[in-house]
């Protein structure tokens, strides 16, 4: 890698401006620490002057997070610059990011100022910030809609005033890749002192072109990209960090001798953390980190991936921190994926049995969007290799009250003999399961317990599903009854019978 693309992460500033994505101080610290592990170069931790809480969060990030440069945003106003400096000064590598709108639209309707006034304000703000902090970045807001000649003049003069980085924002996501590439190219060709600063880009996603515009800029000389985890941001969001990084890495035939310092194996973990703390869910088909990014249902695709991964996967899931390729079984799946899943579940069947099971699977797949392992086990157990009922429930008795520990006595028929067992537990159902464990010593551990109503009314039929594991593997069991405790025991007995006969 001859040239490094600086990754400027603004998840904690622009990303948090996404409606509903507000973070408290401790959550910001947690995300910032993970961003440092991910390997971002700069963390824009917030807009310090905007509120006391934001000032304190930027200050704590600067104090507690080591590695990346910590940046604070400021308008071209002295009080903003002072607030930003006082928040980020605790970082080993502090940065102040000053912005001022330069498009005719913003100058006329928002700022009500002429070009010469804007130019003087920009230069004065950069000089003032430079006296407080050595690393200054300047953004001409709405640059993509700014008059080109005026934009060149602003960039030249803020560099002369001391800006080490000049960021070119597509603030409202208006530009297109060819147009934005031409803007960056024009700056490099028409600003005489451009080599004294790093050209950065900050692209919004209003037309879905944030990543495309950012990458077009990189190909034309931009060497810093401002982006967010999961593409969070105002309105339609920002350019997505994970998409930019993985495009540069995956298409090194185009982005030759260019790379980033990102530890890509931390991408998925970082994405999930941001999603959890902001409450902003990641869509299933989101590139790189969506639930379906490495999932295949089509039989043709599944067959290809099983034979050679690169037929339908251009990245390895483990490279972004995903554990494995996901083969989703549904109505589009073929025999190859079906056989592989049965094999992974521990079933050894003859070809005739596989064919019968596959036909039953197709019938079920027409009724369900996705077939789970438990469904396959039921298909095999009930339709192909009926599991003998070595264990049968005969009777149970529960004692429970608010001032006593629940206990259960269970009578079962186990391999032709009647057994009675009594145990206490955290609840009546737990007590029943423990009583059964005393009789049938399979060493099972309860992994999951779910209950749902099959019918309506007070006498509704309840269905219980359990998953238990032992050294023999993981199995599921189901049971139904109008008595939820009885349904639970039946489900547990069903699972135990599967364990007893699991190879």
Cβ neighbours around 406 below 10 Å, total: 18
Task: Report if pTM > 0.85.
Answer: no
Identify the CA nearest to 388 among candidates 463, 499, 282.
Answer: 499
Asked if pLDDT for residue 302 goes beyond 60, the answer is no
Pairing of strands 6-9, 42-46: parallel
Tell me the C-alpha distance between 103 and 154, whole Å: 11
Q: In the sheet that 391-401 helps form, which strands lie side by side, from edge to edge? A: 391-401, 404-414, 417-424
- Classify residue 383: in a domain, yes or no: no
**Does 443 share its domain with 322?**
no
Helix, strand, coil percentages, rounded to 5, for the chain:
45, 25, 35
Among the three residues 243, 278, 313, which one is the final residue of a domain in this structure?
278
**Does 321 share its domain with 268?**
no
Tell me the C-alpha distance between 419 and 263, whole Å: 58
Identify the CA nearest to 97 among candidates 34, 178, 158.
Answer: 158
Does an H or E element contain 202, and which?
A: strand 198-203
- Taking only the tens place, the pLDDT of each residue in 435-448 is 999 998 877 788 88
**Does 327 share its domain with 452?**
no
The pLDDT of 414-434, averaged and rounded, is 92
Identify the CA nearest to 210 among candidates 14, 2, 4, 1.
Answer: 14
Among the three residues 278, 312, 333, which one is the final residue of a domain in this structure?
278
**Does 98 share its domain with 187?**
yes
Domain that holds residue 333: 295-368
**Does 122 share its domain with 34?**
yes
- Classify residue 140: in a domain, yes or no: yes
DSSP per residue, 123-189? HHHHHHHHTT-S-EEEEEETGGGS-HHHHHHHHHHHHHHT-SEEEEEETTS---HHHHHHHHHHHHH
**Does 438 share its domain with 482?**
yes
User: 202-206, 265-269, 374-378: which range is least confident on average?
Assistant: 374-378
Among the three residues 368, 403, 420, which one is the final residue of a domain in this structure?
368
Tell me the C-alpha distance between 48 and 12, whole Å: 12
The pLDDT of 339-346, averaged and rounded, is 72
Provide the number of structural domains found in the chain.
Answer: 3
Domain harbouring 31, CATH code: 3.20.20.70
**How would you label 211-246 residue by residue, b for 16+ Cβ within 10 Å and e otherwise?**
bbbbbbbbebebbbbbbbbbbbbbeebbbbbbbbbb
Asked if pLDDT for residue 344 goes beyond 60, the answer is yes
Tell me the C-alpha distance between 277 and 212, whole Å: 28
Asked if pLDDT for residue 347 goes beyond 80, the answer is no
Identify the CA nearest to 144 among candidates 169, 119, 167.
Answer: 169
- Classify residue 283: in a domain, yes or no: no
Tell me the C-alpha distance between 24 and 102, whole Å: 33
- Taking only the tens place, the pLDDT of each residue in 373-402 is 666 766 666 555 566 788 899 999 999 888
- Classify residue 382: in a domain, yes or no: no
Check: CB of residue 439 under 8 Å from CB of residue 424: no
**Does 410 share its domain with 473?**
yes
**Does 62 share its domain with 105?**
yes
Tell me the C-alpha distance between 284 and 407, whole Å: 44
- Classify residue 375: in a domain, yes or no: no
Domain harbouring 439, CATH code: 3.30.160.270
Asked if pLDDT for residue 117 goes beyond 70, the answer is yes
Q: What is the dihedral of CA 182, 186, 188, 193, to 10 degrees?
A: -160
Tell me the C-alpha distance between 451 and 462, whole Å: 7
**Does 24 share its domain with 168?**
yes
Identify the CA nearest to 58 among candidates 82, 84, 37, 33.
Answer: 84
pLDDT for 343: 75
pLDDT for 378: 65
Name, in order, each residue with C-beta under 8 angstroms of 293's C-beta and a sequence gap of 6 or more: 285, 286, 287, 317, 322
**Does 310 share its domain with 274?**
no
Give the residues across from 100 on adjacent strands. 140
- Classify residue 380: in a domain, yes or no: no
Tokens 């080591």 sit on residue: 66
**Does 32 share its domain with 155?**
yes
- Classify residue 378: in a domain, yes or no: no
- Taking only the tens place, the pLDDT of each residue in 35-79 is 999 999 999 999 999 999 999 999 999 999 999 999 999 999 999
Q: What percent of the chain clears pLDDT 90, i.e. is strictly above it?
A: 60
The length of the chain in residues reads 503
Structure tokens at 124: 């004065």
- Classify residue 303: in a domain, yes or no: yes
**Does 189 share its domain with 215?**
yes
- Supply φ then ψ for residue 106, to 5 degrees: -70, -40
């Amino acid at each position: 890698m001859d040239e490094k693309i600086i990754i400027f992460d603004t998840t904690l500033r622009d990303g948090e401006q996404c409606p509903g994505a507000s973070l408290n101080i401790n959550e910001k610290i947690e995300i910032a620490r993970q961003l440092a592990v991910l390997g971002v170069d700069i963390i824009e931790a917030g807009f310090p002057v905007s509120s006391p809480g934001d000032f304190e969060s930027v200050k704590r990030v600067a104090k507690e997070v080591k590695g990346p440069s910590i940046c604070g945003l400021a308008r071209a106003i002295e009080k903003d610059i002072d607030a930003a400096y006082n928040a980020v000064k605790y970082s080993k590598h502090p940065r102040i990011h000053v912005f001022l709108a330069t498009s005719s639209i913003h100058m006329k309707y928002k700022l009500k100022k002429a070009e010469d006034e804007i130019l003087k304000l920009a230069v004065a703000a950069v000089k003032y910030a430079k006296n407080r902090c050595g690393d200054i970045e300047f953004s001409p807001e709405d640059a993509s809609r700014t008059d080109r000649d005026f934009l060149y003049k602003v960039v030249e003069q803020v560099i002369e005033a001391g800006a080490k980085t000049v960021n070119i924002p597509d603030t409202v996501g208006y530009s297109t890749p060819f147009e934005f590439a031409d803007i960056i190219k024009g700056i490099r060709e028409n600003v005489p002192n451009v080599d004294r600063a790093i050209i950065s880009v900050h692209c919004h996603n209003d037309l879905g072109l944030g990543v495309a515009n950012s990458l077009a800029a990189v190909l034309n000389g931009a060497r810093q990209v401002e982006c967010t985890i999961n593409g969070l941001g105002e309105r339609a969001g920002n350019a997505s960090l994970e998409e930019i990084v993985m495009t540069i890495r995956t298409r090194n035939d185009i982005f030759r001798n260019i790379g980033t310092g990102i530890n890509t194996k931390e991408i998925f973990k970082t994405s999930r953390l941001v999603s959890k703390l902001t409450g902003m869910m990641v869509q299933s088909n989101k590139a790189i980190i969506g639930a379906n990014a490495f999932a295949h249902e089509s039989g043709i695709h599944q067959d290809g991936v099983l034979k050679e991964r690169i037929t339908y996967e251009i990245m390895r899931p483990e490279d972004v921190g995903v554990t494995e390729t996901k083969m989703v079984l549904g109505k589009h799946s073929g025999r190859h994926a079906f056989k592989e899943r049965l094999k992974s579940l521990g079933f050894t069947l003859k070809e005739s049995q596989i064919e019968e099971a596959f036909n039953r699977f197709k019938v079920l797949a027409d009724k369900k969007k996705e077939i789970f392992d438990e469904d396959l086990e039921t298909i095999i157990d009930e339709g192909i290799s009926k599991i003998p009922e070595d264990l049968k429930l005969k009777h149970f008795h529960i004692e429970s009250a608010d001032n006593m520990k629940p206990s259960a006595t269970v009578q079962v028929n186990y391999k032709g003999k009647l057994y009675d067992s009594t145990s206490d537990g955290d609840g009546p159902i737990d007590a029943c399961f423990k009583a059964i464990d005393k009789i049938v010593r399979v060493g099972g551990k309860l992994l999951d317990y779910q209950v749902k109503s099959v019918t309506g009314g007070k006498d509704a039929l309840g269905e219980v599903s359990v998953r238990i594991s032992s050294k023999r593997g993981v199995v599921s069991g189901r049971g139904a009854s109008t008595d939820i405790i009885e349904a639970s025991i039946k489900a547990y007995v069903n699972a135990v019978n599967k364990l007893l006969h699991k190879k």
